[in-house]
Every structure is written in structure tokens, then in C-alpha cells.
Structure 1
Amino acid sequence: MSGEPRGSLRRSLSALRHDPPAVAGTVILLVLVVVGVAGRWLAPAGINDIDVAQMLQPPSWSHPFGTDELGRDVLSRVLIAARVSLEVGVISVGIALVAGVSLGLFAGYYRGWVDNVLMRGMDVLFAFPVLLLAVAIVAVLGPGLLTAMIAIGVVYTPIFARVTRASVLSVREQVFVRAAVSIGASDLRIMRRHVLPNVAAPLIVQTSLSLAFAILSEAALSFLGLGVQPPAPAWGRMLYDGRGFVTDAWWLGLFPGAAIFLTVLAFNLVGDALRDVLDPRQLTVSEARRSVG
């Protein structure tokens, strides 16, 4: 019985190939991954190569994205910063995913006082605005890339915990789970082999959407000077550095801002498509339309 949802999950994911927005988002993400991995080799100049004679030069053949107030090549810094943003997004969401899923599994499976204690703790975190809580955590731990990852991971943990708990509460009453309990399977084995695979669909959707928000959060922290520290490049920090040159050097904010926009858009396109194909009601409508056609 538990294998049936996994087969449905595979069929749903294969439907993404016929969804133009999902394909577009996937292509953008693949390009970003390539840029993140090979950015140091793709960058036409060093990220901290200062050339005062070339300061605040507009986009040209020699500097396609122009130069900043220190004469550094903006294109090179945007390319290198892609790796930083993707790393922060993936690692911070990974922290939230592991912690949130673990808490949600135990809360939904055991219910009772375990559920009350764990979910009340998540409610406390939910009471704070996401960015405000992340700023508070970074203020305690100190600014930097690692603390930004930890802060973003902590603030998104309650989301994964609640999504997991809600799914586990319904899966827990399924026949195959009761059968596993009746034959004496351990709780950990039941959660790992029978419950977790059957709550994967909403977690996949939440992960893709959280990656977009995590990258936005990292950009906000870096803009506030609490994330990536100079001279390392980060899209948010580049926006901060270019805020004083909006009229005289528009390219300083345009290109890192466009990079953030495209990255968040790509994750949202993929996340929306995943939500549509993994929702059984949406999947039924899609299959009906195909059969009619």
C-alpha cells in the first residue's frame, strides 16, 4: 500500500516535462547551478581586482555589467555571488527540512503531550516575523555566512514541522500503518518506511518554495550587513553598496537585483508546478483533460 503513493509521485513529477513554466524555471535553475559551480572560471576578472581608473564605468564590451565604485568588474562579482546565494539557500533549507520534518514526524505520530510540547515551541517561533527573528539570531551569534545559514534554517523550521505534522496525522490512520503496528514493527521503522515516504509530496513543494524565500532572506541579511561580509561578493551586499549610486550608476543595483529576481522566480515557477501536479485534485483534472483531448 505504501508503494502506491510513491508511484503516483513519480507520475506526477514526470508531468512537469509538459508544463512550460516548470520547464522554464528548471532551465533557469540549471543555468544558476552551472554558474554557481563554474563561476570562478566564467568570471572575466577577479572579484576584488581594484582599478581606480575604471571606477563607475557603464556596461561596455570590456565590462558587460559595468564596474563599481572601486573599479571592480560587476559581472564577475554577480557570477561568484551566485554560488554564495545557492549555498545559503540549500544549506539553510536543509537545516530547516531535517529539523522540521523530525519534529513534525514525532508530533504527528505520537500526538498527545509530545504534540503539544513540540508544536507550542513552533508556535513561539511563528510569533516572530521571519526577518526579525533571523536578525535577532544573527545579532546573538555574530554576522557571517555560517550564522546566516543557521538563522534562516531556524526561522523556517516551524513551517516544515507544521506541514509534516498535518500530513502525518492523516497518514497515521491508514491501513498499512495499522498493519505495521499490529505485526510489532518499531515506531522508528514505521515512521521511516511507511509514514515519511507518504508525506513526501507536500514536503517537496514546501522545499522548492522555501528555497526562494531563503535566498531572499539571505539577500536581506547581507543588505543589512549581517550576512556575507565584504570583500566577499553577495547579491544583497551589492545592492547595499549600490544604493548611493542609483542615479549615477544604475547598473550597480540592476544586475544583482535581476539575479535575485530570476532565482526567486525560477524556484516559484517550479514550486507552483509541483504544487499543481502533486495535488490529487489538480492531477485528476489534468488527466481528465488529456483523456478528452
Structure 2
Amino acid sequence: MTQPPVAEKPDRPPSSEEAPVASERTSAWRLVLANKVTLGGLVVLVVVVLAAIFGRWLAPYGINDVDVTNALAPPSAAHWFGTDELGRDVFSRVLVSARVSILVGLVSVSFALVAGVVVGLLAGFFGGKLDAIVMRCADVLFAFPVLLLALAIVAVLGPGLPTAMLAIGIVYTPIFARVVRASTLGVREEPFVKASVSIGASSGLILRRHILPNITGPIIVQTSLSLAFAILSEAALSFLGLGVQPPDPSWGRMLFDARGFLGTAWWMSVFPGLAIFLTVLAFNLVGDGLRDVLDPRHRTAIEARRVK
């Protein structure tokens, strides 16, 4: 797996003194909803989240209900996505597996977000030796493909869902750190930051009130992109037998179980594969839409087109 993309660093959003009156500009939320591609991604994400929350109640069968008399049954009215080699309903397992993917994405990316933002803020604001150390450590981690590094961490700590979440969180931390550092370097040279330093404001106050609010744009975009690749990484780890362990289902684990039935029971691999594809695509579409809205250059062009 190649290194996931790092969000483009948008220009610094204008400060409160520079921002135009809200009534004169289209709200960011309306611009996002006006983009049909982004709106389609949001709809898919809403469906996935609802499946993650209510999947166990919506599933027509138990995820581990074995019915050997219906093993490898093709899609039908009774089993919409067919059954697997043990007669378990594939639709129910795909539906419930959404919870695993969303949980892994949220937990691992939250870990990377908090750690990366803290490290990136400190490195970008204070610079010097701290910045050099942080960037050299990030460079070392960037030298390894994400999946390979995650595999190494899981090999040391042992397989399982908690270990997979920790491994994914660790490998995505330097991505957030680099994005936040780059944004912080630009904002710290702004006059309002230098003015705060000159009057003796504490570093913590400056970071909280002036730096962090002005770099939320690239952080939000990077979060949406990282969620997509975290879900993909979990699926890869589970496919290799290092993530979710049986009998619990996950999309990656279902692909692993289907590897011996590609020619006889295509539905066992197609439907969990489509679930992964659509979820990752939806996160990427939403990330692209947020980037366009939060980047002042893109947003100005979008508003100009809307006016025409």
C-alpha cells in the first residue's frame, strides 16, 4: 500500500478583522451541499454510519447463524447477498461489519489527530532542535509504507482489533504532525501572533487562541482523508489475519474467508469489497469537497461560478 496523501495546505483563513460579513458570502455548509459529488459522498457516509449504529438490529439473521443446508447459496429473496461456506447470511455480516470499520477509523484517526496536532503545533511554533527532531522522526516513519509499518507494529504487539487500531493510529500520526507543522509555520509569522508575543502572552494562550483556530481547515481535510485510508488499512490487516479475529466479521476478514471461493461463490467477495470501495470513495469525495470550501482560492472560484 502506498503512502496515503497528505492534505494540501490551504492558505491561512482570514482573521476575524479580515473576514467579510457572513451575509455577503455563501456559508461553507451550503457550498458543500451544492456540490453534488460531495453530497453523494455524504449520503453514502450517512448510510454507513447508520449501518454501524443499527446494523445488529437491522440484520435479518445473526452474524454467526450457521445453516449448512444453505451453504454457498447465491443471492435470493431470502438472502440478498447470498450465504458463505457455513451458510451464514452475507448481507447481515456486511451490515454489521460497518461498525468495525467506523470504529477503527474513528479511534485510530482520533489518536493520530490528537498526537499529531500537539507535536506539529509545538514543532512549528517553537522550531529549533524540537522541530528538527520531530521532522527527522517523521521522515523515518515516512520511509516505510503504511501497511508495512502497521504490520511490524502488529507483529510485535500481537494480532487483534485493539492492536490494529493502535498500529494505524501510530502510522498516521506523523502525517498530521507534518500538516499541522507546515500550517503553524505560516501562521506564526502573522502580525497578530507577533503582537501577542510582544505583549507577553503565554505560548499556550497563543497556540490555543491564535494558531489552532487558523489551521483547522487543513486539519479537517486531512482527517477525512485519513479516515478513508484507516478503513482501508484495517481491511488489509484483517485480510492478512492480523486485525479482526473470527468469529467476529469485518469486511477485510470476509474477503479473507472468500479467497477460496472466487470461482464458485463470487458474492462472498464482491459485496464486502463493494462496501470497502464505496466507503473509502465517499470519504475521499467529502475530503475533496471540504478542501475546495476551506481553501480560500478554491472557495473564491466556486462562489464566482455560483454568481454567474
TM surpasses 0.5: yes
Residue 53 and residue 13 in structure 1: after superposition, are their counterparts in 2 closer, same or farther (change >3 A)?
Answer: same
Equivalent of residue 79 in structure 2, options 63, 70, 74? 63
For the pair 1:227 / 2:243, whether they are aligned, the reply is: yes
Distance 2:272 2:142 in 1: 30
Segments of 5+ residues of structure 2 without an aligned counterpart are: 1-13
Give RMSD over aligned pairs: 1.6
Residues 110-133 of structure 1: CA distance to partner in whole angstroms, max 9, x if unpaired?
Answer: 011110011111111111111000
Equivalent of residue 44 in structure 2, options 17, 23, 28? 28
- Counterpart residue type for residue 120 of structure 1: R
1:2 and 1:194 in contact (8 A); partners too: no
For the pair 1:12 / 2:21, whether they are aligned, the reply is: no
For the pair 1:54 / 2:74, whether they are aligned, the reply is: no
Equivalent of residue 96 in structure 2, options 80, 83, 106? 80
TM-score, with structure 2 as normaliser: 0.92
For the pair 1:204 / 2:206, whether they are aligned, the reply is: no
Instruction: Using the TM superposition, give the Cα deviation of residue 179 of structure 1 relative to its aligned residue in structure 2, in angstroms.
Output: 1.8
Residues 193-239 of structure 1: CA distance to partner in whole angstroms, max 9, x if unpaired?
Answer: 11001000011111101111110000000000000000000000100
- Counterpart residue type for residue 135 of structure 1: L
- Counterpart residue type for residue 208 of structure 1: S
Q: 2:137 matched to which residue of 1? A: 121
Distance 2:27 2:218 in 1: 15
* SS of equivalent residue, structure 1 residue 242: helix
Segments of 5+ residues of structure 1 without an aligned counterpart are: none
- Counterpart residue type for residue 191 of structure 2: V
1:5 and 1:198 in contact (8 A); partners too: no
Residues 50-109 of structure 1: CA distance to partner in whole angstroms, max 9, x if unpaired?
Answer: 111111110111111111001111111101100000000111111111111111000000
* SS of equivalent residue, structure 2 residue 103: helix
Equivalent of residue 131 in structure 1, options 114, 130, 147? 147
Equivalent of residue 173 in structure 2, options 157, 160, 178? 157
Q: 1:266 matched to which residue of 2? A: 282
Q: 2:305 matched to which residue of 1? A: 289
Equivalent of residue 171 in structure 1, options 154, 164, 187? 187
1:36 and 1:86 in contact (8 A); partners too: yes
1:6 and 1:197 in contact (8 A); partners too: no
1:43 and 1:75 in contact (8 A); partners too: yes
Please, which moves more after superposition, 272-281 or 245-254? 272-281
- Counterpart residue type for residue 59 of structure 1: P
Distance 1:286 1:249 in 2: 46
Instruction: Using the TM superposition, give the Cα deviation of residue 13 of structure 1 relative to its aligned residue in structure 2, in angstroms.
Output: 3.7
For the pair 1:146 / 2:162, whether they are aligned, the reply is: yes
Instruction: Using the TM superposition, give the Cα deviation of residue 4 of structure 1 relative to its aligned residue in structure 2, in angstroms.
Output: 5.7
Residue 64 and residue 38 in structure 1: after superposition, are their counterparts in 2 closer, same or farther (change >3 A)?
Answer: same
Residue 39 and residue 241 in structure 1: after superposition, are their counterparts in 2 closer, same or farther (change >3 A)?
Answer: same
Q: 1:101 matched to which residue of 2? A: 117
Distance 2:125 2:133 in 1: 13
Equivalent of residue 53 in structure 2, options 27, 37, 48? 37
Residue 6 and residue 127 in structure 1: after superposition, are their counterparts in 2 closer, same or farther (change >3 A)?
Answer: farther
- Counterpart residue type for residue 213 of structure 1: F
1:65 and 1:75 in contact (8 A); partners too: yes
1:13 and 1:274 in contact (8 A); partners too: no
1:88 and 1:218 in contact (8 A); partners too: yes
Distance 1:229 1:10 in 2: 48
Instruction: Using the TM superposition, give the Cα deviation of residue 175 of structure 1 relative to its aligned residue in structure 2, in angstroms.
Output: 1.3
Residue 78 and residue 280 in structure 1: after superposition, are their counterparts in 2 closer, same or farther (change >3 A)?
Answer: same
Equivalent of residue 91 in structure 1, options 96, 103, 107? 107
Residues 115-159 of structure 1: CA distance to partner in whole angstroms, max 9, x if unpaired?
Answer: 001111111111111100000000001000001000001111111
TM-score, with structure 1 as normaliser: 0.96
Instruction: Using the TM superposition, give the Cα deviation of residue 178 of structure 1 relative to its aligned residue in structure 2, in angstroms.
Output: 1.3
The structure whose residues are more often helix, as a share, is 1
| Structure 1 consecutive aligned stretches of length 4 or more whose deviation exceeds 6 Å | 5-10
